[in-house]
Structure 1
Amino acid sequence: MKTKRFTIVLSICLMLVGIGVITQLTTADSVRPAWNPASILSGQGLEHQVGEAIKIVDNKGNVISQACQGVSVGDEIISADGKHYRIVKLNKDRAIVKSLGMDKEFLAWNEYFTDERLAMAAATKKTGKVGIYHTHSDESYVPSDGSESKPFKGGIYDVGQSLSTRLQEKSGTEVLYDKTPHDPHDNAAYQRSRRTATKLMKENPIALIDVHRDGIPDPDYYSAKVSDTNVSKLRLVVGRQNPNMQANLSFAKKMMAYANKVHPGIVKEIFMAKGNYNQDLMPTALLIEAGTHTNTKGQAERGVALFADAIPIVLGIEGGPAEAQGKTGFKGITDRGATAENSGGWKAVGWILGLTLLLGGGFLLISTGSLKGVGERIGAFGKEFSNYLGPLKKRMQGKKRATKDTSETTKASYDQADRAVIDHRDDVTED
């Protein structure tokens, strides 16, 4: 009885695994929400606790940064001058970091992007589209909009429009600006905005930019005068919980390095936060925070417009160092296409595995339900197979006998010919 139950359970499990493999392969070409168990606990989607600030300090109490989101141990920061920090301890209203030294990759890009090299190197202009959207479509600016939140029509749309307009007018970059709202501002906002990002991906963008604003109460934290313009600076956010994290981070380093070369100080820092932020969709996905809710909307609009000047160069849409484009490895949609091509062989293996599991489980399930019955069924199948092969085997044996007889006849003929030659030679000798 136990054997019978075991066989039934085994067959069902095999069939379920086979169905799962086939389903995965069937839907592999569509972009699905990235399921991350940690995101349930990390509070992704509620990172903007407006009006609450956590000070991020070093072991001497020096303020390194501020954040309104729930920071986590392991989050990292790269400042505009290349200093790299990691959060190692959390208290109620502050986080303590340790220094990781200077970020060598950022410093290398910072050194590379010089006006002399850009003037001397002329890259072939590539075609590419930049996708822009807003996960938190309610975000607004209090001095200009009257509130930090305006559901479905936040002031953040004007900031996104400023970014889009600057890209189109100054560099001729084609922009895919999707204004789909994703309210309310809750834990599911990133799942809703993922549908929008997925739709943008169908247009083969070279980059995806999710535009936000921060929520720390101090307006001076972002306010600055950059390139003789009163702006709010930007913070670039990279999610630590996605497989493209290193690629996204490298892209962010390049953006901060070159943007700050063109407009010194426009990017405040890179913040590597616990979360996904839909950045698993492509290696050039980026989340930007354009100022905070206590800045004016005009400051944020002017800030993203200056930031836009760096985007075409870094992406290779506009002329820039040809060798820089070769080093980055970021080629927009072509990288994903190459990955898909290389995965074709594994898909074939997956189909074979899935069908084998499904058919094997089905065979067990329709059998007698016991290992003995399965053995008998296999034995019967073997017997039927042997019966099928029987006539074929006889025909093969007949052919072998015919071949043997032919060989023997040929050999006898050769022997007779030899004897005839010998007799003829004897006759000649006697004469």
Structure 2
Amino acid sequence: MKKLLSVIVFSLLLTFSIVCRAENEERVYTLFDESGNRITSRMGQMYVGDEYISADNLLYEIISVNDETASAYARLIGNEPEDIFKVMSAKDNGKRLICMYSTHSDESYIPSDGDFSLEKNAGIYDVGEAFQKHLESLGFEVEYSKDTFLPHDAGAYRRSRSVAEDYAERMPAAIIDIHRDGISKDEYETTVDGEEMSKIRLFVGKSNQNAAENRAFAKKIKAIADDKYPGLVKDIFIGKGNYNQDLYPRAILLEFGTHEIDKSLVIDSTEYMAKVMSAAVGSPAEQRAQPETSEEKKASVSGIAILIGIAVVGVIVFAVASTGSFRGAGQRIKKTAGEITGGLFKGNRDGKSK
């Protein structure tokens, strides 16, 4: 009887925990710095250890969370390093494949769709199709799954995982999960090249073996967008969970706007993001054909010079140690150099070089 009672109590507590977590995932959390200044917000729970890269590339780490007030506080770590780590190359099969799906299949835009959530004809698929069209115009083959993974709950990522697994086996240039945020439209409204549109947030899951590469991929996308189309990418949120990004190093979750913004503004942003994505992934053949940049050449020359310098110092130290004097070291080095080069640097009897 006691054992049965324990099982019942445990089950109730587990159910309560799951329900509370699901409710928190549907709340807007606000992030503050240690001085109480507002940094950003997002639809969904924040956790201690989550990270945030702001529009100006400042890195914050969340150090405390208050679920009752849906607020979190973060410590400023400093500037996020600008170096972009190597990310796994796409499969060179003569095509540049990009695979996309929408885990939260009901997400919609109130001004255009009439509701923030629609089980049929959700607005998020209009955004995905526009993004697909622009990618295809740039030469990509794009597969966008229209499968739905309802309901919109904590199990949605489990239900969409089979689609992501199938995509990962095909080694595409990228796997993209298309979403929208659920915060105020004020945080997403922007102007790019004189055109009003929606910002895009990049979301990375840190609880997986590909987290470093997923993060590097997101940083690369943001760096390109910041250079080509300032104001397009809002920021990068690096949160607890894996969001199926553990399946592939070049997996990314893109949040196109928010439920309050007009869908037409979101669709306008897809053209620019397609150009950014094209620059971010390219193709292996294109990457091999690119000439070495002046910075890379300088780095190569500098690296060679350093190695030569280290070698020379090592030879001198060894020669001094073995002969007991700098003069003896000089004679030994000259003799060795003459033997190696066939006498090119061997001194004449008059002490002059040949």
Q: Do Structure 1 and Structure 2 share a fold, with TM-score over 0.5? A: yes
Number of the residue aligned with 1:239: 205
Measure, in 2, the Cα distance between the counterparts of 1:125 and 1:81: 37
Using CA pairs below 8 Å that are at least 6 residues apart, which structure has the higher relative contact order? 1
Secondary structure of the corresponding residue to residue 57 of structure 1: strand
Deviation at residue 69 of structure 1 after TM alignment: 0.6
- Aligned partner letter, 1:210: D
Change beyond 3 A, Cα 1:292–1:129: same
Bigger radius of gyration, 1 or 2? 1
Say if 2:107 and 2:118, in contact at 8 Å, map to a contact too.
Answer: yes
Higher helix share: 1
Change beyond 3 A, Cα 1:287–1:42: farther
Secondary structure of the corresponding residue to residue 275 of structure 1: coil
> Over aligned residues, Cα RMSD in angstroms?
2.6
Secondary structure of the corresponding residue to residue 310 of structure 1: helix
The CA deviation string for residues 154-191 of structure 1, in whole angstroms up to 9 with x for no partner, is 1000000111011111x111111111111111121111
Measure, in 1, the Cα distance between the counterparts of 2:202 and 2:291: 25
1:271 pairs with one of 226, 237, 250: 237
Say if 2:52 and 2:61, in contact at 8 Å, map to a contact too.
Answer: yes
State whether structure 2 residue 281 is matched by structure 1 residue 315: yes
Secondary structure of the corresponding residue to residue 256 of structure 1: helix
State whether structure 2 residue 57 is matched by structure 1 residue 82: yes
Say if 1:125 and 1:319, in contact at 8 Å, map to a contact too.
Answer: no
Number of the residue aligned with 1:143: 111
Measure, in 2, the Cα distance between the counterparts of 1:140 and 1:159: 10
Measure, in 1, the Cα distance between the counterparts of 2:120 and 2:23: 17
Say if 1:137 and 1:153, in contact at 8 Å, map to a contact too.
Answer: no
Measure, in 2, the Cα distance between the counterparts of 1:60 and 1:161: 43
Change beyond 3 A, Cα 1:248–1:87: same
Measure, in 2, the Cα distance between the counterparts of 1:150 and 1:296: 16
Measure, in 2, the Cα distance between the counterparts of 1:244 and 1:323: 28
- Aligned partner letter, 1:134: S
Number of the residue aligned with 1:404: none
Number of the residue aligned with 1:165: 133
The CA deviation string for residues 358-379 of structure 1, in whole angstroms up to 9 with x for no partner, is xxxxxxxxxxxxxxxxxxxxxx
The CA deviation string for residues 253-311 of structure 1, in whole angstroms up to 9 with x for no partner, is 00000012111111111100111100011100000111110011111111222111111
Change beyond 3 A, Cα 1:187–1:147: same
Counting only pairs closer than 5 Å after superposition, residues 23-422 of structure 1 correspond to structure 2 as 49=26, 52-91=27-66, 92-104=69-81, 107-109=82-84, 127-169=95-137, 171-216=138-183, 218-317=184-283
Change beyond 3 A, Cα 1:298–1:220: same
Measure, in 1, the Cα distance between the counterparts of 2:188 and 2:159: 29
Deviation at residue 93 of structure 1 after TM alignment: 2.9
Deviation at residue 61 of structure 1 after TM alignment: 1.9
Moved over 6 A (4+): 40-47
State percent identity of aligned pairs.
Answer: 39
Deviation at residue 199 of structure 1 after TM alignment: 2.4
- Aligned partner letter, 1:141: Y
The CA deviation string for residues 73-109 of structure 1, in whole angstroms up to 9 with x for no partner, is 11000112210000001122321110110011xx235
- Aligned partner letter, 1:269: D
- Aligned partner letter, 1:220: D
Measure, in 2, the Cα distance between the counterparts of 1:167 and 1:103: 29
Number of the residue aligned with 1:332: none
TM-score, normalised by the number of residues in structure 1: 0.58
Change beyond 3 A, Cα 1:151–1:225: same
Q: How many matched pairs?
A: 267
Consecutive unaligned residues of structure 1, counting only runs of 5 or more, are 1-39, 111-123, 328-431
Secondary structure of the corresponding residue to residue 83 of structure 2: helix
Measure, in 1, the Cα distance between the counterparts of 2:244 and 2:20: 14
The CA deviation string for residues 7-57 of structure 1, in whole angstroms up to 9 with x for no partner, is xxxxxxxxxxxxxxxxxxxxxxxxxxxxxxxxx9698887752xx422211
Change beyond 3 A, Cα 1:163–1:82: same
